[in-house]
């Protein structure tokens, strides 16, 4: 008897590298959001336990959704793209954009910000970058072929 051939990257059932990497980066983005929520506890006016519970319930649902990208269902891909790439991104940029439009100065902020505020700013910046990369990977040609086959 001979062993079955090892799965290759050209295997029609294999999850493409772009999709696998996208999943990892989406999960990293969600983790950054969770970390940001926890850092907010160090600032005046921290989130309430109820607010944190709701936020972490949402993060849990998003993790399940992102992990289901491995099923290859195109509806899942589009749900992730719209919810995380669209709505999620808007939720991350509305506050800073409003602050800038109201005359906020990035230089003044950086000169006077405390540690937790700088950590939140770094996490949010990395979070937005991760979303952009994960979303791009989700629509690479290999990913598109994968989702069209299902």
> What does the pLDDT look like over 79-117, one tens digit per residue?
999 999 999 999 999 999 999 999 999 999 999 999 999
Backbone angles phi, psi at 7, to 5 degrees: -65, 135
Cα dist from 27 to 37, 49, 129, whole Å: 15, 23, 13
Two tokens at 36?
Answer: 């940001």
Structure token digits, residue 108: 């003044």
Digit-coded pLDDT (tens) for 35-45: 999 999 999 99
DSSP 53: H
- pTM equals 0.87
Is 34 in contact with 127 (CB distance < 8 Å)?
no
C-beta of residue 36 within 8 angstroms of C-beta of residue 110: no
């Amino acid at each position: 008897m001979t062993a079955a051939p090892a799965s290759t990257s050209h295997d029609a059932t294999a999850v493409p590298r772009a999709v696998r990497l996208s999943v990892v980066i989406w999960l990293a983005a969600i983790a950054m959001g969770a970390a940001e929520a926890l850092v907010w506890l160090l600032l005046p006016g921290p989130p309430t336990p109820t607010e944190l519970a709701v936020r972490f319930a949402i993060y849990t649902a998003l993790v399940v959704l992102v992990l289901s990208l491995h099923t290859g269902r195109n509806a899942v891909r589009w749900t992730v793209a719209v919810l995380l790439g669209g709505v999620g991104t808007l939720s991350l940029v509305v506050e800073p954009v409003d602050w800038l439009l109201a005359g906020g100065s990035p230089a003044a902020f950086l000169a006077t910000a405390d540690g937790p505020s700088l950590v939140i700013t770094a996490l949010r910046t990395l979070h937005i970058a991760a979303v952009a990369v994960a979303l791009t990977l989700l629509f690479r040609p290999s990913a598109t072929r994968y989702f069209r086959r299902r």
